[in-house]
Structure 1
């Protein structure tokens, strides 16, 4: 097995936020592709070490960061759950793409759950959208499954709260048993001190509204190579919403991978080795690598 290198660093944004970042690099420091990754709601990037070590072993460099309001970033800035909204999140993605780009090496954008919805949104409107070689969205948060979907009056109250107290945080309950069939992964999730259920109400409503907007035919503008993966029994984010967006996306190079009977965190299911490899293979195919 090839040895990979990791680099951790704190960066300071132009608006003064300190952001925790991490990079997984191939041992020879000569990647065939690079990836900027956005994690999901309430979590942090060190939950993905087992994923991106495999990427690096395959020659793919990955850069990620604890998004504003989450993980080490939220802890250090004392603003858990406050992301600044998708405009700010997209600006952070733009900065990451520009700073991490290597000349002549294809660059991909990847996200899970909230991060999956964010990268799909970025791929339609982001400043660097035309310079991305491909997009991977895993279990994207485009809608809630029917069993937990907010009622119309809850959304109305949320919209009102967004106008009156936009940065007021609420606690969202994510059932740990819905992330994976593996009890060990569920226990790790429950016991992780960096996981949080807090989210600013304005940011919650923005996610819900943008998840619908991005599926509207007149809005869909996903032309990059696209891979979407979703567990068919995901109880956290909506499988059918992912399928709807995929079918509308005008990309001529797109793949939808439904994982039968799997839950929300595909990379933490019993089949994780196969699933992680499928992401790697998709990237390598598009860069023409034989690794």
Structure 2
């Protein structure tokens, strides 16, 4: 991001073999934002990645993922988005995201601040972060300078197979939009069931016990996320010609894999990949067989980095 850096320190307490830098920065509109960088193993990485986490969570949950990226000489920069993680605690506003327009500006600032001449830069996101990633690919100010987009279980549409999906959809599509016009900053609990994030009960327990995870959002933020996903899937985005990889678990009961497939089918990119991973739940990087998933992201990036370098 383009704002001032407030604090910078190396986090040596992590179970990781690569240098990890934690920073508090100030965004261009004065908001304190917590960031983490997993540095590549060499001074000149083969690629850099800006990563966007999912709804209710935070970037510290990805140490086991991006340590592997860094060991393959891929630098990853991520930040706790507004309303979530350490950023929410610092600003005392859990669930207050500012909406997709603000989120898009934060992404642009992150891309600009982390860009390196001659090194391909990728944008990657999970769930809510995946929806933001796809939206950025369609209309983000810096979209033409991004080498490729990677999405894990993106929130385009919520799963229609989830228990009480009808009740949820009425709340999100009818009740919340009306209430948000009068009470935009009222926060509600979205009641995400932890058992649907992973088949691994250990990971489910970690999720439940994590003090930085919450499932609340302001009405205006929630409506913006839902409507933003619908815009992504309903528009004919013929301008998306960049490389795109979407991975989605076939057993995801939080976000809809059919929406991911539909998006891939619509875009005009000649380099587009959709993999529906059999039986995987929402957080495939925290599910059984997660090494295979993580390596698929790494190999996809490395292949396109090589192509970019040979241009």
- TM-score, length of structure 2 as denominator length: 0.90
For the pair 1:280 / 2:298, whether they are aligned, the reply is yes
- Output aligned runs, 1:125-204, within 5 Å: 125-146=139-160, 147=162, 148-149=165-166, 150-152=168-170, 155-204=173-222
Taking only aligned residues, the RMSD between alpha carbons, in angstroms, comes to 1.6
1:5 aligns with 2:23: no
TM-fit CA distance, 1:14: 2.1
Q: Are the equivalent residues in 2 in contact too, given 1:213–1:219 (CA < 8 A)?
A: no
How far apart are residue 103 of structure 1 and its match? 0.7
* Kept after mapping to 2: 8 A contact 1:18/1:76: yes
Other-structure match for 1:259:
277
1: CA distance between counterparts of 2:171 and 2:59?
34
What displacement does 1:144 show?
A: 1.2
**Counterpart check, 1:72 vs 2:86:** yes
- For the structure 1 residues 20 and 57, does the alpha-carbon distance in structure 2 shift closer, same or farther, using more than 3 Å as the test? same
Please state whether the residue corresponding to 1:203 is helix, strand or coil.
helix
Tell me if structure 1 keeps the 8 A contact 2:100–2:228. no
Find the partner of 1:30 among 37, 41, 44.
Answer: 44
Cα contact 1:20–1:73 (8 A) shared by 2: yes
Contact 1:3–1:27 at 8 Å: present in 2 too? no
Q: TM-score, normalised by structure 1?
A: 0.96
What secondary structure is seen at the aligned counterpart in 2 of 1:80? coil
Unaligned runs of 5+ in 2: 1-15
Shift of 1:221: 3.4
Are 1:3 and 1:26, in contact at CA under 8 Å, matched by a contact in 2? no
Q: Does 1:85 align with 2:99?
A: yes
**Matched residue count:** 289
**CA contact under 8 A between 2:236 and 2:267: conserved in structure 1?**
no
Q: Which residue in 1 is equivalent to 2:239?
A: 221
Q: What is the CA-CA distance between 1:152 and the residue it aligns to?
A: 4.3
Deviates more, 1:90-99 or 1:141-150: 141-150
What stretches of structure 1 of length at least 5 have no aligned partner?
none
Are the structure 2 counterparts of residues 220 and 214 from structure 1 closer, same or farther at C-alpha, using a change threshold of 3 Å? farther
Cα distance in 2 for residues equivalent to 1:235 and 1:220: 29
- 1:72-105 per-residue CA deviation (whole Å, 9 max, x = no partner) reads 0001100000010000000000000000001100
CA distance in 1 between counterparts of 2:181 and 2:264 reads 32
* Residue from 33, 38, 44 that aligns with 1:19: 33
1:39-78 maps to which residues of 2 (within 5 A)? 39-78=53-92
Structure 1 position 235, deviation (Å): 0.7
Matched residue of 1:4: which SS? coil
